[in-house]
Every structure is written in C-alpha cells, then in structure tokens.
C-alpha cells in the first residue's frame, strides 16, 4: 500500500483548523478549488486536474466526520481510489494535524508519487498555516488602546508578553512593529559605531646564532729523503695481475617519507529565508562538504529571536532549547551537500539571529 503522510504542529486552535479543512471557500485557498453538489452534501468535487501529481479532478465522498477531530474522505480520481484522513489532536500551544493519503485501487509510478507528495507537503506546511494566520489576524481588535488580542491567538499574546528587555508588554499591530524597527535601528547603530578590531603587530622572528667552527691549521710534516730506487719502484706501472681492486662504495639506503594524511575539510552552510507569512517564515539551510571523505556527524545550530518557536522541519532531526535550535541529519557525502527546511512561528522577524555549522558561522542570505 502506497501512502503519503504529513504531520505538523499548528499554533491555532482545533476549531479554526477544522474550518480550513471542511469549508469549501477556505479549502480552495490552500489545497484545491472545491464545488459541493447542492443535492449531495456528503459529496465534494475537487478541481485537481493539472496540479502536480494529479491527472484528473477528484470526486470525494465524506465517510467520517467528527468535528473538530477527524475528517475522512474517499477520493475517486479516474480509475484510482484513495482515502484521505485528517486527524486533529489538541496540544498546549494549538494542535497537531496529521494528513495521510492511502492508495486503495490503481497505481502510482515513482514520479507521480514524488510530485503528489511534494504538493501535499507544500499545501499542508506552507499554504495552510498562511490561511490560518489570515483567519487569526481577522480576529485581532486593533481599536483597543493596549492592542490586546482575542482568545483566538493565545500563543501570539504569550510571545509578546513580558519577554522584552524592559519587561514591558509589547503592543500589537503598528505599535509592536514600531518597537521592533527601533530595536533593529539601535542594533545597527551599535554595530556601525563599534571600534574596529585591533590587529596585533607581527612579532619578528628571533635570529638563530650558529657557532662558527674554525678548522685547525694542518701540522707541518718533516720532509723525508727517498732513495732513487724507491722512487723508480713507486712510479713503475703495476702489472695486470697486480691491478688493485676498486674499493666497494657503501650505498646509503633512501627512505621514502610517509604520506601525511590530509585533514578533513570543515563543512560550510548557507541559510536563506525561502518564504514568509503573516506570523512566521520558512528557512532553508544547505550544508556542503568540500572535503574528500564523507562527513558522518554534524550539527547546525540556529538561534531564533526571543519567543520564536520551530513549527515543523523536513529532512532533519531537531530539538529546541529556548532560542537555540540544534539540527542533525544524515551523512554529507564527499564533495556533496544536504538541504533541510524548517518553519518558524515568529510575529516580529523574518530570519533567525544566527546560524553555525560545527561551530563555524553560516553564510546568511
């Protein structure tokens, strides 16, 4: 059985998510245009023909409806039948949504399955949260003096409440945006006016004095008188039988230096914000291995703004501790790279405060 499964934590209450799943006007904004027949309320026509991974429109039949927890549809697409199950579980900050599509009849090739899975991923993790943010924003009462939020956005109120440096509550709407801009301007001024780092002067290398060795003068040797016969004997040519044998030369063995192993090149990483929404953004990190050996263990550490939280991540394992989020994943091949994305819930910024890979700074785009 072929399946497509997605799970995401949403910072919205279950009833708001239920509306986005079941109301045709909202469903058409994040998944596909839907047309409910007037005489068959349990039926639904989804205009999916031409979408990535779909070959025709879907005739859907509601087989289970338990508001606001469980929604199950049987989907007929040409000669193929699938079952789409949506499960909503409340959590402390909102709810967790699980979406699973199972192929009951027919076939999917590998390319179609990949395209369909990517479309579901984009719809559930990017477009659906954007619609939920839009619904929540409609409930914000900007006319109140303190800019307070309704009960629809308890998490947003928590993010801006009592966590600033001055310990004061941030105002919603335009006032909160103004404070964020002032904070960014102040940080830029401090950065521009800070003194340039002092570069230490190069220390001259010490001169190594070598002792001078003086060769002793050769001692004078007294002259000796040699007889004429002895001189003639010494200058005579030796006979062939008495030819002196050449002295064997002593061969000095040559040592081949051992090859020094080349140290593994450090990983590099590049961060960029690939999309943003009303109450958050999606970030992408590309980890590159320029070395000649596979890198097994690595960690990318992302520092979020105060109050921000990870909502979902794909292609990587992660854990959050305050503002610090640590990502780990599969091995990075030699001369290769790996990419992962993550969704952040943040009402004030559109990028993290910092990023490192194995302690080295990432490039920020």
Cβ atoms of 48 and 32 closer than 8 Å: yes
What is 150-217 written as a DSSP string? -TT-HHHHHHTSS-STT-PPPPSTHHHHHHHHHHHHHHHHHHHHSPPPPPPPPPPPPPPPPPPPPPPP
For residue range 17-30, what is the model confidence (pLDDT) as tens digits?
999 999 989 999 99
With pLDDT > 90 as the criterion, what percentage of the chain qualifies?
44
Q: Across the strands, what pairs with 231?
A: none
Residues 6+ apart with CB under 8 A from 128: 8, 10, 20, 30, 31, 97
CA distance 337 to 295: 10
pLDDT band at 212 (very low <50, low <70, confident <90, very high): very low
Class of CATH domain 268-364: mainly beta
Give the 3-state secondary structure of residue 292.
Answer: coil
Helices 14-22 and 128-138: crossing angle, nearest 10°? Answer: 120
Domain with CATH 3.30.530.20 in the chain: 3-138
Mean pLDDT of 254-258: 60
Long-range CB contact pairs, 18-23, < 8 A, 24+: 18/67, 18/68, 18/71, 18/88, 19/135, 20/128, 20/131, 20/132, 20/135, 21/71, 21/86, 21/88, 22/65, 22/67, 22/71
Give the 3-state secondary structure of residue 236.
Answer: coil
pLDDT of 240 reads 45
pLDDT band at 193 (very low <50, low <70, confident <90, very high): very low
Candidates 315, 361, 321; CA nearest to 340 is 315
Query: What's the gap between Cα 278 and its chain centre?
Result: 22
Give the 3-state secondary structure of residue 62.
Answer: strand
With pLDDT > 70 as the criterion, what percentage of the chain qualifies?
65
Q: How many CA atoms lie within 13 A of 195 on its CB side?
A: 3
Span of 190-194, 249-253, 299-303 with lowest mean pLDDT = 190-194
**Paired tokens of 298:** 């690595």
207 has pLDDT over 50: no
The residue written with tokens 């934590």 in the block is 9
pTM: 0.48
Task: Enter the DSSP assignment of 3.
Answer: E
Task: Enter the DSSP assignment of 319.
Answer: E
End-to-end CA, the chain: 41
Mean pLDDT of 121-136: 91
Domain with CATH 2.60.40.290 in the chain: 268-364
CATH number of 3-138: 3.30.530.20
> Angle 127-301-196 (CA atoms, 0-180°, nearest 5)?
115
Q: How many CB atoms lie within 10 A of CB 133?
A: 20
CA distance 315 to 353: 22
For residue range 305-361, what is the model confidence (pLDDT) as tens digits?
988 888 888 888 999 999 999 999 889 999 999 999 998 888 788 889 999 999 999
Cβ atoms of 121 and 6 closer than 8 Å: yes
């Amino acid at each position: 059985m072929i399946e497509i499964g997605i799970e995401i934590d949403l910072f919205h209450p279950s009833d708001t998510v239920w509306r986005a799943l079941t109301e045709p006007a909202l469903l058409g904004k994040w998944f596909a245009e839907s047309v409910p027949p007037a005489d068959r309320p349990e039926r639904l026509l989804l205009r999916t023909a031409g979408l990535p991974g779909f070959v025709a429109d879907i005739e859907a039949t509601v087989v289970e409806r338990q508001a606001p927890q469980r929604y199950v549809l049987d989907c007929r697409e040409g000669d193929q039948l699938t079952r789409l199950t949506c499960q909503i579980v409340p959590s402390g900050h909102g709810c967790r949504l699980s979406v699973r599509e199972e192929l009951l009849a027919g076939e999917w090739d590998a390319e179609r399955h990949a395209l369909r899975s990517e479309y579901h991923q984009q719809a559930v993790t990017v477009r659906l949260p954007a619609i939920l943010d839009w619904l929540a924003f409609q409930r914000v009462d900007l006319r109140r003096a303190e800019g307070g939020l309704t009960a629809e956005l308890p998490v947003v109120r928590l993010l801006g409440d009592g966590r600033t440096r001055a310990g004061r509550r941030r105002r919603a709407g335009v006032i909160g945006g103004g404070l964020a801009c002032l904070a960014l301007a102040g940080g830029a001024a401090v950065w521009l006016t800070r003194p340039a780092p002092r570069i230490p002067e190069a220390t001259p290398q010490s001169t190594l004095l070598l002792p001078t060795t003086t060769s002793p003068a050769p001692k004078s040797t007294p002259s000796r008188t040699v007889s004429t016969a002895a001189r003639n004997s010494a200058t005579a040519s030796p006979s062939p039988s008495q030819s002196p044998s050449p002295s064997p030369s002593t061969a000095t063995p040559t040592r081949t230096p051992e090859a020094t192993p080349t140290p593994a090149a450090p990983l590099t990483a590049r961060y960029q914000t690939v999309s943003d929404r009303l109450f958050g953004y999606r970030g992408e990190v590309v980890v590159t291995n320029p070395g000649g050996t596979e890198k097994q263990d690595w960690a990318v550490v992302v520092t979020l703004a105060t109050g921000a939280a990870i909502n979902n991540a794909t292609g990587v394992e992660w854990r959050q501790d305050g503002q610090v989020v640590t990502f780990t994943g599969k091995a990075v091949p030699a001369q290769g790279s790996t990419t992962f994305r993550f969704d952040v819930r943040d009402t004030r910024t559109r990028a993290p405060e910092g990023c490192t890979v194995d302690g080295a700074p990432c490039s920020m785009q």
